[in-house]
Structure 1
Amino acid sequence: MPSSQDKPKTTTPSNLCQPMETPGILSLLRQLSSLSGDKRSKSLFRVFKLFPQLSSGCKMVALLGRPRKSLLTSHGYTATGTLFGYRKGRVSLAIQEDPKCVPTFVIELPILTSAFHKEIASGLVRIALESETKTSKKKLLEEFVWAVYYNGRKTGYSIRRKVRSEEEIHVMQLLRGVSMGAGVLPCPSDKELADGELTYMRARFERVVGSKDSEALYMINPDGTAGPELSIFFVRVQ
């Protein structure tokens, strides 16, 4: 764990998002797993209280993100993630257990769809959602208000939807039998004329639960082939 006296290098936001090894974090997680319940809770609380000091966004993502294989153990499983939106609008994120299930998490991100397409074409996208709350009674993905960081830059705030919109229901119905893919969907109305085509990208994600206050989704490329790297992180900072 870096000390408060370490002077970080001056880098651009994109450089901050490069993969990095974090043996210190892995060692800390192993130590926490061996503690009793009360001690573990107190230690986890101290760890998460450090996140604001280390800055949010991509630095926080780096702490949670690498190397992921060592963190899987029994907490690793998969989920379906869909990013969709009108070309001239904002991109939305929906998470499901599988394509036929009702989404457990839907949110419109403060990210332009055109910007997302451009970044994913470059091969690396990392999205971090950070929730600040005074209680942890809710499950992590049941939180409503999220600060959103996109490739290391804070882009704004989003609120998780309680009720799905017409477009969201339309997209989920059309993609009910689709496990992965990307393309253009027919619009539910004449909105295409104003906002452009309705686009989507769907993939399976490796889901890693670090604790009750941290989760990560890593896109799985088909057959292990090289392709875009998309990671989504959820962190609750108390």
Structure 2
Amino acid sequence: MNADSSQAAIDTKPQLRWWDLLRPIMALVAPCWASCYPPLFSTCKPEIFTVTGTIICSINSKVKLCIQEDVDSFPLIILDLPINMSELAGLMQCGTARIVLQCDLGLDRSNEPFLSAATWAMHYNGQKMGYAMRREVTGKDTLLLGTMRTISAGAGILPGKECGLGQCKYLRGQFEKVVASNYSEAYHLIDPSGCLGQELSIFFLGI
């Protein structure tokens, strides 16, 4: 199936509903991250990039988080989060979303890439949700991401025959990646209009 027909097969009707979950229903009050996570507010000027982030969930499975440099690149990380899509949607209805993923650096990981940690403690707006697990990219992941190459931002449903995993819900967007230190990275969702609303932010922290 070519890219045009693949894109046409994607049901985009739910798109407005999914983006509505990310629009703030209360005034944005940024939490005082500096007091809780000092590495994010280093005195050094942080490095800033733009990357592609995708949240995917097939029926009766947990949410997967995938981060890529762009839609054509090999994933930097894929995590199985400890929640399903309905739970995530319910949490997002409360407004601004802050997902914090913490790993234990330990002495034996001092020379390993930061995002290579296998286990990440997940907090959502300060509430502990469980543990996210990093895993290797599979053939099904490659097939799914290949199907989505024509989508740079948006949300909807992928038919089962397109992704090989059964019907999948997805949310994809461009994120501003901020690297404050070797052990702290933040990803802030850029609204499709081009604004950096920070309605969804994901923090990776080494402790």
TM-score, normalised by the number of residues in structure 2 = 0.74
**SS of 1:91 mapped into structure 2:** strand
User: 1:78 aligns to what?
Assistant: 50
Q: Is the 8 A contact 1:108 1:159 kept in 2?
A: yes
User: 1:149 aligns to what?
Assistant: 123
Q: Is the 8 A contact 1:79 1:98 kept in 2?
A: yes
| Partner Cα separation in structure 1 for residue 195 and residue 48 of structure 2 | 20
Deviation at 1:159, TM superposition (A): 2.1
Deviation at 1:102, TM superposition (A): 1.2
Q: Does 1:205 align with 2:169?
A: no
Q: Is the 8 A contact 1:93 1:107 kept in 2?
A: yes
Q: Summarize deviations over 1:98-146 as a string: whole Å, max 9, x none.
A: 0011111001100121111223344321111100021321121122211
What is the correspondence of 1:153-192 to structure 2 with a 5 Å cutoff? 153-164=127-138, 166=140, 168-188=141-161, 192=166
| Partner Cα separation in structure 1 for residue 184 and residue 196 of structure 2 | 27
Q: Is the 8 A contact 1:88 1:114 kept in 2?
A: no
**Structure 1 residue runs of 4+, over 6 Å off?**
none
What is the correspondence of 1:1-238 to structure 2 with a 5 Å cutoff? 18-20=29-31, 25=34, 59-60=36-37, 73=45, 75-134=47-106, 135-164=109-138, 166=140, 168-188=141-161, 192=166, 197-225=167-195, 229-237=199-207
Aligned residues: 177
Deviation at 1:171, TM superposition (A): 2.2
- The structure that is helix-richer by fraction is 1
**SS of 2:60 mapped into structure 1:** coil
| Partner Cα separation in structure 2 for residue 199 and residue 146 of structure 1 | 23
- The structure that is strand-richer by fraction is 2
Decide which structure has the larger Cα Rg and report it. Answer: 1
Unaligned runs of 5+ in 2: 1-27
Which protein has greater RCO, CA pairs closer than 8 Å, 6+ apart?
2
Return closer, same or farther for 1:227/1:21 CA change in 2, 3 Å cut-off.
Answer: closer
**SS of 2:74 mapped into structure 1:** coil
Letter in 1 for 2:117: E
Unaligned runs of 5+ in 1: 1-16, 26-53
User: Could you tell me the percent identity over the aligned residues?
Assistant: 34
